[in-house]
């Protein structure tokens, strides 16, 4: 056996402990350990560490109900199509269901109602503005994001939607339901405008929810303590497509 | 059955097996998250976020190793969490279940928990993925998005730091009792 084959590296010792060593090197390593006491004691030490870690953290339990995937999936936007369909079905059902929903919202407006009301109001007021739709223009994007993030005390994500034909015009600060809200406006080539409204909330993360208005409609969701409302065209398919694009970019941090 | 219905049924089956594969990993993910964060509550939040993220990306998943993919999501989420926490580190230490004085059924192996807590995040995650979760070096490299050589040196540093911690801190801790 040549010296080269005999020489055992530290990496090989780790690989030996972790069962990652190629079979043809195991004998060489074991021979090495028999004659190198220091390395043998290191290997023993690493094995003891492994045992201790497994003893302390190794138990596995059956997951509690909060990890039920069916329930989680309902919160996941993959199923927002189904959720949206359910909303439409509720509208169509009308009657008692409608009355119940109305009764509930009259008693205590939900976060969904509060957020979409405010966002749609802002949308109506500002999208018709020709000269002053925003306070800070999209040309100063970095400044806009920094300013609004500072006021909301939340690192805002303002998505780039140019590839779906929407240019960022800019944004402004608004009074929100629980402190300041941020409001960004986008414009398409034919002048159609979409806005994204951001405000802090204590509501739990939610799937995308659609709300139809008379001239405009809104899509709402909550993620990590921030409520989002995309408002725009009453054309539902168009608004859902824009919201989905915004959602995905915000979620993945593609800005 | 017409072709459209057959397709729909095939899709349904795909979703079912995808979910089952995820479901099988939940106990191991919780185990890893607990060791990684040393805080059961935080760990479960991380696992839940991981599952939500995975379900959302269901349509993006094209075969491959689901297990590594879930560990990747969890590791990244935890990294983001630590990054946002870096501005206020004191809070996390208070919640650390392994803080000195904590007693429990596993008090005997508490030293190893403290030693793990003393490691930097990458070393802790590497060591746990290898010895607790049984991932191969190659899988760990994928999860962490680094070359295999980096995994090896993180592992080596993790082990030697733990040894140094146990050699140094052991007697001092015993004296406190």
Kindly state whether residues B46 and B82 are assigned to the same domain: yes
The answer to whether A126 and A172 have CB atoms below 8 angstroms apart is: yes
B117 at A interface, C-beta within 8 A: no
- A&B contacts, CB < 8 Å: 94
Domain limits, chain A: 7-57, 65-252
The first and second tokens of residue B81, run together, are 């969490």
Cβ neighbours of residue B174 under 8 Å, at least 6 residues apart? none
Cβ neighbours of residue A94 under 8 Å, at least 6 residues apart? none
Kindly state whether residues B159 and B176 are assigned to the same domain: yes
* Residues of B in Cβ contact (< 8 Å) with A205: 52
**Degrees to nearest 5, angle at CA B154 with B93 and B80:** 45
Q: Name which of B35, B55, B136 is nearest A69 (Cβ-Cβ).
A: B55
CA distance B52 to chain A (A): 6
Kindly state whether residues B33 and B112 are assigned to the same domain: no
Kindly state whether residues B126 and B157 are assigned to the same domain: yes
Please check the confidence at residue B29 and state whether its pLDDT lies above 50. yes
Q: Name which of A56, A62, A205 is nearest B113 (Cβ-Cβ).
A: A56
> Could you say which of B78, B97, B116 is where a domain stops?
B97
CA distance A172 to chain B (A): 25
Q: Name which of A20, A56, A78 is nearest B58 (Cβ-Cβ).
A: A78
Q: Name which of B44, B131, B162 is nearest A54 (Cβ-Cβ).
A: B131
Domain at B25, CATH number: 1.10.1740.10
Contact A76 B52 (CB under 8 A): yes
3-state secondary structure B42-66: HHHHHHHHHHHHHHHCHHHCCCCCH
Contact B22 A251 (CB under 8 A): no
* Residues of A in Cβ contact (< 8 Å) with B22: 69
Buried-state track A202-233, b at ≥16 Cβ within 10 A, e below 16: ebeebbbbbbeeeebbbbbbbbeebbbbbbbb
**Considering its fold, how many domains does chain B have in total?**
2
> Could you say which of B68, B97, B126 is where a domain stops?
B97
Query: Each residue of A32-91: pLDDT tens digit?
Result: 999 999 999 999 999 999 999 999 998 887 777 778 887 777 765 544 444 455 544 444
Contact B55 A20 (CB under 8 A): no
- Half-sphere exposure (CA, 13 Å, Cβ side) for B51? 30
The answer to whether A14 and B152 have CB atoms below 8 angstroms apart is: yes
Kindly state whether residues B48 and B15 are assigned to the same domain: yes
| pTM exceeds 0.90 | no
- Half-sphere exposure (CA, 13 Å, Cβ side) for A242? 29
Kindly state whether residues B72 and B142 are assigned to the same domain: no
Q: What range defines the domain where residue B151 resides?
A: 102-177
Q: What count of residues does chain B have?
A: 177
Pick from A216, A152, A231: nearest CA to A186: A231
Kindly state whether residues B79 and B2 are assigned to the same domain: yes
Share of chain B above pLDDT 90, in %: 42
Contact A61 B30 (CB under 8 A): yes
Query: Each residue of B38-94: pLDDT tens digit?
Result: 888 889 989 998 998 888 877 666 566 889 889 998 998 888 888 776 655 444 444
Question: In terms of CA atoms, which chain A residue is nearest residue B148?
Answer: A11
B59 at A interface, C-beta within 8 A: yes
Q: What count of residues does chain A have?
A: 255
More confident residue, A251 or B157: B157
The partner residues of A210 in beta bridges, in order of sequence, read A219
Please check the confidence at residue B106 and state whether its pLDDT lies above 50. no
Domain at B149, CATH number: 1.10.10.10
The answer to whether B155 and B132 have CB atoms below 8 angstroms apart is: no
Contact B19 A78 (CB under 8 A): no
Q: Provide the pLDDT confidence category of residue B156 given band limits of 50, 70 and 90.
A: very high
* Residues of A in Cβ contact (< 8 Å) with B113: 56-57
CA distance B62 to chain A (A): 16
B81-86, Cβ contacts within 8 angstroms, sequence gap of 24 or more: B81/B46, B82/B121
Sheet holding A216-223: strands in order across? A136-137, A167-176, A179-187, A193-200, A226-233, A216-223, A209-212
Q: Provide the pLDDT confidence category of residue A16 given band limits of 50, 70 and 90.
A: very high
Kindly state whether residues B106 and B87 are assigned to the same domain: no
The first and second tokens of residue A154, run together, are 């939340």
Question: In terms of CA atoms, which chain A residue is nearest residue B26?
Answer: A63
The first and second tokens of residue A72, run together, are 């989680």
Q: Provide the pLDDT confidence category of residue B129 given band limits of 50, 70 and 90.
A: very high
CA distance B1 to chain A (A): 23
The answer to whether A123 and A134 have CB atoms below 8 angstroms apart is: no
CA distance A225 to chain B (A): 14
> Could you say which of B97, B131, B164 is where a domain stops?
B97
Residue A88 confidence (pLDDT): 47
């Amino acid at each position: 056996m040549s010296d080269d084959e005999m020489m055992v590296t530290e990496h090989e010792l780790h690989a030996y402990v972790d069962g990652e060593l190629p079979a043809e090197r195991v004998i060489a390593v074991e021979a090495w350990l028999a004659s190198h006491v220091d390395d043998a004691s290191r290997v023993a030490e690493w094995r003891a560490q492994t045992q201790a870690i497994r003893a302390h953290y190794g138990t596995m339990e059956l997951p509690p109900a909060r990890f039920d995937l069916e329930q989680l999936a309902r919160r996941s936007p993959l199923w927002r199509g189904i959720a949206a369909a359910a909303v439409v079905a509720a509208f169509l059902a009308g009657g008692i269901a409608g009355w119940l929903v109305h009764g509930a919202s009259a008693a205590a407006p939900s976060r969904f109602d509060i957020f979409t009301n405010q966002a749609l109001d802002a949308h109506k007021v500002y999208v018709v503005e020709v000269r002053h739709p925003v306070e800070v223009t999209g040309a100063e994007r970095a400044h806009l994001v920094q300013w609004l993030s500072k006021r909301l005390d939340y690192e805002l994500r303002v998505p780039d939607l140019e590839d779906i034909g929407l240019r960022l015009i800019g944004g402004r600060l608004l009074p929100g339901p629980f402190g300041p809200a941020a409001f960004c406006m986008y414009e398409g080539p034919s002048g159609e405008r979409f806005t994204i409204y951001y405000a802090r909330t204590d509501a739990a993360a939610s799937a995308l929810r659609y709300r139809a208005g008379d001239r405009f409609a809104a899509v709402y969701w909550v993620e990590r303590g921030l409520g989002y409302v995309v408002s725009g065209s009453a054309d539902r398919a168009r608004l859902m497509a824009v919201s989905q694009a915004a959602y995905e970019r915000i979620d993945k941090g593609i800005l | 059955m017409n072709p459209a219905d057959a397709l729909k049924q095939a899709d349904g089956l795909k979703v079912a097996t995808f979910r089952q594969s995820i479901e099988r990993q939940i106990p191991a993910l919780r185990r890893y998250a607990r060791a990684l964060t040393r805080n059961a509550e935080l760990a479960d939040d991380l696992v839940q976020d991981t599952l939500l993220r995975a379900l959302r990306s269901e349509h993006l998943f094209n075969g491959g190793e689901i297990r590594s993919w879930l560990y990747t999501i969890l590791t990244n989420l935890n990294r983001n969490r630590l990054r946002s926490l870096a501005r206020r580190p004191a809070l996390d230490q208070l919640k650390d279940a392994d803080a000195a004085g904590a007693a429990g059924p596993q008090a005997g192996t508490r030293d190893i928990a403290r030693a793990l807590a003393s490691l930097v995040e990458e070393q802790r995650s590497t060591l746990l993925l290898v010895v607790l979760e049984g991932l191969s070096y190659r899988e760990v490299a994928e999860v962490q998005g680094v070359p295999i050589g980096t995994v090896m040196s993180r592992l080596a540093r993790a082990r030697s730091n733990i040894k140094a911690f146990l050699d140094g801190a052991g007697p001092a801790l015993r004296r406190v009792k």
